[in-house]
Structures are given as C-alpha cells and as structure tokens.
C-alpha cells in the first residue's frame, strides 16, 4: 500500500510505499523534507495552528475528527476512524484534533459536542456529523466528498 504525503511546502502529493515510510523522504516537486508531513492512510494529529495549511490547502478531500480524550464515544469510534484512514488511503486525508487542548478551531466551527466529524473538499466545509455514527453512515458522507 502507498501512503500519500502532502508536502507542507508546496502542497504536492507524494507517493511513499508504506514499507519505506520510516526512511527520509523528500518532495518530488520542491525537495522539501516530508518527515512531519501528513499522510493519507493514517490518522494525523492536527493543531489549531496547522489547520489552514493541512486542511484548507489539502489537495485531497479531508475528514477531521474533533474529539476529547475523556469522551467515551470518541474512544469507541477511534478504531473505526483508523480503519477508514487505511481504507481510503490515497483518496482521503484523515485528521484528529483534541478539542480540550485545541479550542480555536472548535469555536470557529461551533463544535458543541464530540465526536464531531467535519468533511472538507477543496478547503470548503461540505458536511458534518455529530455523535458516534455507524460505519455505513460515515462512509456515505465520505462518498459525498470523494
């Protein structure tokens, strides 16, 4: 399986074989190191400061999971979000943002309960889902942004 790393410098999509993910990779377009670049195929941590660069400028559709580490339903759907990240590798970027420590984006998007899933395409918010939903419902929403 290939991971897709999005270059933080130029935004180019770079294919990285999963068995070589541990090696030092560089962007094929600009040569910037991809060490801390978000990758499609896994759940990536997200901060308030990285939101614009990593979500709004991402060339792939994006799923953002707003969660809290003390939230039971958030812990329940965490394995499902991981599985979705693997299943849609190369087609969807998945991020998690902790609302207890990263509150600016939660306020910006009026997040009142967790888990809340936001779906973006081309930097625009397309849809959202509040609460722990079944896999089929989440995948239906993903189908709208792909």
Q: What is the mean predicted confidence (pLDDT) over 19-47?
A: 89
For CA atoms 144, 47, 68, 99, give the dihedral sign. Answer: negative
Question: Looking at residue 21, what is its pLDDT?
Answer: 76
> What's the rounded Cα separation, in Å, for the pair 54 and 7?
9
pLDDT 10s digits, 86-141: 999 999 999 999 999 999 999 999 999 999 999 999 999 999 999 999 999 999 99
Helix (H/G/I), strand (E/B), else coil: 4: strand
Question: Looking at residue 22, what is its pLDDT?
Answer: 74
39 is catalytic: no
> What's the rounded Cα separation, in Å, for the pair 38 and 44?
6
Helix (H/G/I), strand (E/B), else coil: 84: helix
Q: Which residue of the set 27, 39, 58, 74 is catalytic?
A: 74
- The domain over range 1-37 is classified in CATH as 2.30.30.380: yes
74 is catalytic: yes
> What's the rounded Cα separation, in Å, for the pair 2 and 99?
30
**Could you state, in order of their start, the residue ranges of all structural domains in the chain?**
1-37, 40-145
Backbone angles phi, psi at 123, to 5 degrees: 80, -5
Hey, what's the torsion of the CAs at 91, 38, 76, 79, to 10 degrees?
A: 60
Q: Nearest-CA neighbor of 51 among 70, 66, 68?
A: 66
How much of the chain exceeds pLDDT 90, in percent? Answer: 77
Pairing between strand 43-45 and 93-98? parallel
Question: Looking at residue 119, what is its pLDDT?
Answer: 98
Q: Cα 37 from chain centroid?
A: 12
Omega before residue 115 within 30° of 0, cis: yes
Q: Which residue of the set 7, 27, 39, 71 is catalytic?
A: 71
- The domain over range 40-145 is classified in CATH as 3.40.1160.10: no
* Confidence band of 1 (pLDDT split at 50, 70, 90): confident
């Amino acid at each position: 399986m290939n991971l897709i790393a999005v270059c933080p410098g130029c935004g180019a999509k770079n294919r990285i074989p999963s068995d070589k993910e541990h090696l030092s990779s560089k962007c094929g377009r600009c040569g910037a190191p991809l060490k801390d670049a978000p990758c499609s195929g896994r759940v990536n941590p997200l901060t308030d400061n990285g939101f614009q660069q990593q979500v709004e400028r991402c060339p792939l559709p994006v799923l953002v999971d707003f969660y809290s580490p003390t939230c039971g339903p958030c812990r329940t759907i965490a394995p499902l979000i991981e599985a979705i990240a693997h299943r849609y590798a190369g087609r969807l970027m998945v991020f998690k943002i902790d609302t207890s420590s990263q509150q600016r984006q939660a306020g910006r998007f009026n997040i009142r309960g967790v888990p809340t899933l936001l779906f973006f395409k081309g930097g625009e918010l397309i849809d959202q889902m509040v609460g722990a939903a079944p896999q089929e419902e989440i995948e239906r929403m993903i189908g709208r942004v792909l």
